[in-house]
Amino acid sequence: MIWSSFTWAQVDYCKRHPAVVKELEDKLKIKCSKMTHDNVLRIGTLEIWRNHNKTPFKSSDFTGLEHITYLTIASMNLYAEPGALKELKNLKGLKFSYLQNEIPSVIFEGLEHLEMLILHENDNMTKFGESFLEGLDNLRYLHIRARVENYGNYPFKALRFSYNLLENTPKLEEIYIKGRGLRYIPNGFFDYTPNLKSIGFYGDLIKVEENLFKNLTELEKVYFIRYGALESPDLPDNIFENNHKVSYLNISWNYFWNLDRVLAPIRLTIDKVNICSTRYTHQQIETLQVEFPQVEFYKESCEIF
Mean pLDDT per 10-residue interval, the chain, length 305 residues: 38 43 63 51 67 70 81 76 86 85 78 91 74 90 75 60 88 89 79 94 78 94 76 81 95 87 96 90 92 92 61
For Cα atoms 63, 142, 28, give the angle at the middle one, nearest 5 degrees.
25
Query: What pLDDT does residue 153 have?
Result: 53
pLDDT of res. 235: 87
Cα separations (Å) of 269 from 64, 94, 173, 221? Answer: 49, 34, 19, 11
| Contact partners, residue 202, CB within 8 Å, separation at least 6 | 148, 176, 177, 178, 179, 223, 225, 226, 304, 305
Q: Which residues does residue 80 pair with via DSSP β-bridges, in sequence order? A: 57
Q: Is the dihedral of CA 20, 23, 24, 30 positive or negative?
A: positive
Q: What is the pLDDT of residue 106?
A: 76
Residues 6+ away with beta carbon under 8 Å from 149? 156
Q: What is the pTM of this model?
A: 0.83
Residues 6+ apart with CB under 8 A from 81: 56, 57, 58, 59, 106
> How far apart (Å, rounded) are the C-alpha atoms in residues 63 and 163?
37
**292 three-class SS:** coil
**Strand 31-32 to strand 45-49: parallel, antiparallel, or no bridges (unpaired)?**
antiparallel
Q: Which residues, 6 or more positions from 108, have their beta carbon under 8 angstroms from its beta carbon?
A: 85, 114, 133, 134, 135, 136
Q: By the 8 A CB rule, do 260 and 238 touch?
A: no
**How big is the chain, counted in residues?**
305
Would you state the pLDDT for residue 243? Answer: 96
Question: What is the structure's pLDDT at 231?
Answer: 55
Question: Residue 247: its pLDDT value, please?
Answer: 97
Q: Which residues contact 43 (CB under 8 A, 6 or more apart)?
A: 9, 11, 12, 13, 14
* pLDDT at res. 36: 47
Q: Which of 228, 220, 170 shows the shortest CA–CA distance to 199? A: 220
